[in-house]
Amino acid sequence: MKRLPLFILFFVALQSSAHEHLTIQEQLGYPADAKLLIIHADDLGVAHSQNMASFQAMEEGIITSASVMMPTPWAKEAVLYAIENPEADIGVHITLTAEWDTYRWGPMLGADTTPSLVDEHGHFHASVAAFAQNAKLEEVEAEVRAQIEAAREAGIEFTHLDGHMGSMLATDEIAQLYFRLGKEYGVPVRLHQHHGQDSENAELREAVVQMPGKATSMHGASPSDFPDGMAESYNDYLRQLQPGLNLLVLHLGFDDAEMQAITVNHPLWGSQWRQADFDWSMSEEAKAIVEEEGIILVDWRLVKEKLFDKAH
């Protein structure tokens, strides 16, 4: 099982001696040995199928958090859900790439305003590599701010920021922008793949603070788990979960005509993958393992309220 380290940026003053000796669980109001877990649904807004599966799993399954891609065609539906369900834990899934073959989107500011962020057709670049090679930092910042502000102005009380396909960690400079925006908006940001601790950029190294608490982890199914072993991978992850604040990232949807058309030629993270994630998140087996292992399901709102709001 592949497990990635989870790091979360603390932009708040947690410098008191009391905090220095508390685990992240204790800072969040739980015993020092508590196994806390956020189970997160990425990609709200991509499709009606994506939205409906995620909403259902948040209400009836074990999903505790989700995030919306504001430039996508079905973002409005996710916005309305967030407004009608203020208790739902919703973040902004910053979107700077468009990976599907025939289903594309582009900047909220428009291609003419952010030409380095788009391909020859005016869509976001299809890969993080192409994005990193072409993107100008000032255009990235303008577009990211536009997406965050669009969510806020629409009425979403977003609890965190995370990045689609890891594009906000594509370069040290973009990562610094990401951290700075988290601090400015007073919300935690999700890190994966690139955490900056080994960077030659001193400012970036100083910005990255590993979340306290031992065995904090992040997990998501890998291509080797698809198509037969995803549920087993998730179940193993739950059974091996260690004390700390942990994160499991899923991509929910239905294997229907809409999602099949969107993800054509992309079996990985495609319609069958998303159906499998939905099925597992709704399963009695998953719910039973959570209970048997004494796992406490939490969300980003708790992290924001306990560790960020008090500092602002």
Residue 21 lies in a domain: no
Residue 40 predicted with pLDDT over 80: yes
- % the chain with pLDDT above 70: 85
With the C-alpha atoms ordered 306, 307, 308, 312, is the resulting torsion angle positive or negative? positive
Q: Among all chains, which residue has been given the structure tokens 């998730």? A: 234
pLDDT in the model for residue 163: 94
Residue 58 lies in a domain: yes
| CA 222 – CA 161 distance, rounded (Å) | 23
Residue 26 lies in a domain: no
Q: Count the domains in the chain.
A: 1
* Residue 65 three-state SS: strand
Mean pLDDT of 265-275: 95
pTM of the complete model: 0.89
Mean pLDDT of 165-177: 91
Contact at 8 Å (CB) between 245 and 24?
yes
Residue 2 lies in a domain: no
Residue 17 predicted with pLDDT over 80: no
Most confident of 8-12, 176-180, 258-262: 258-262
Q: What is the DSSP letter of 306?
A: I
Residue 171 lies in a domain: yes
Mean pLDDT of 195-216: 45
| CA 90 – CA 148 distance, rounded (Å) | 12
Which residue segment(s) compose the domain that 125 sits in? 31-311
pLDDT per residue as tens digits for the range 118-144: 999 999 999 999 999 999 999 999 999
pLDDT per residue as tens digits for the range 219-264: 889 899 998 889 999 999 999 999 989 999 999 999 999 999 999 9
Here the tokens at position 249 are 């990232």
Q: Which residues pair with 35 in a beta bridge?
A: 244, 295
Q: Which residues contact 104 (CB under 8 A, 6 or more apart)?
A: 98, 121, 123, 124
Residue 180 lies in a domain: yes
Residue 18 lies in a domain: no
Residue 112 lies in a domain: yes
Which position has the higher pLDDT, 189 or 256? 256
At CA 46, angle to CA 45 and CA 49, rounded to 5? 90
Q: Whose CA is closest to 218, among 186, 241, 236?
A: 241
pLDDT in the model for residue 211: 33
| CA 234 – CA 220 distance, rounded (Å) | 8
Is the peptide bond preceding residue 188 cis, with omega within 30 degrees of 0? Answer: no
Going by DSSP bridges, is the β-strand pair 7-8/295-297 parallel, antiparallel, or unpaired?
Answer: unpaired
Domain containing 216 — which CATH number? Answer: 3.20.20.370
pLDDT in the model for residue 202: 52
The span from the first CA to the last CA of the chain, in angstroms, equals 39
